[in-house]
Amino acid sequence: MTDTALILVDIQKDYFNGGRWTLSKIEQASDNAARVLAHARQAGDMIVHIHHEIPSETAPFFRPGSEGAEIHPKVAPQEGEDVILKHKPNSFLNTRLHDTLGSSGISNLVIVGAMSQMCIDATTRAAADLGYKVTVVHDACAARDAEFGGVAVPAAQVHAAFMSGLSGTYATVIDSAGYLAAH
């Protein structure tokens, strides 16, 4: 095992076409995440799948036990890969993620998944605050259109704004081709 862990955040069926909370470019992002996952498996990196459930029967998506809350088959966990359940955007909050990584000697994290403006942002910032060296593979992440104060913001702009906020201070932000070529 290396000192690197791949963290796959919330690549779940509700985010895909036909799901309850479809994201823009989720197919491309999940294809890139699957390539990064294949590389991590071959490299012997630790693999951690984050599985988000919103503990309410009236949740707009990721309802406990629903098909939409299941991890998408493109990045399905294999035997021996950890799956950590969370209930908040920050994958470290009230989960065993930090302890699991620490007990395995992990100091470098590679983060992929969804949504850029919520769980990827929260998890990346928390990881950096906890002292991990973080890489976000931006084209293996997906966003959703947003609105604030009557201003509609397309998903591509949401994604770019959040990646620019993470880049440098909290993480190295790189595309999948660049990441795979360098590792």
3-state secondary structure of 37: helix
Question: How buried is 87 (Cβ within 10 angstroms: 0-12 exposed, 13-18 middle, 19+ buried)?
Answer: middle
CA neighbor of 98 nearest in space, from 147, 132, 74: 132
Is 99 annotated in the active site?
no
Is 14 annotated in the active site?
no
Choosing from 86, 121, 139, 141, which is the catalytic residue? 86
CB atoms within 10 A of CB 145: 14
Choosing from 119, 121, 139, 141, which is the catalytic residue? 119
Structure tokens at 65: 């036990």
For residues 38 and 30, what is the distance between their CA atoms, to the nearest angstrom?
12
3-state secondary structure of 11: coil
Is 141 annotated in the active site?
no
C-alpha to C-alpha distances, 177 to 33, 107, 163, 165, nearest whole angstrom: 11, 23, 17, 21
Catalytic residue set: 10, 86, 119
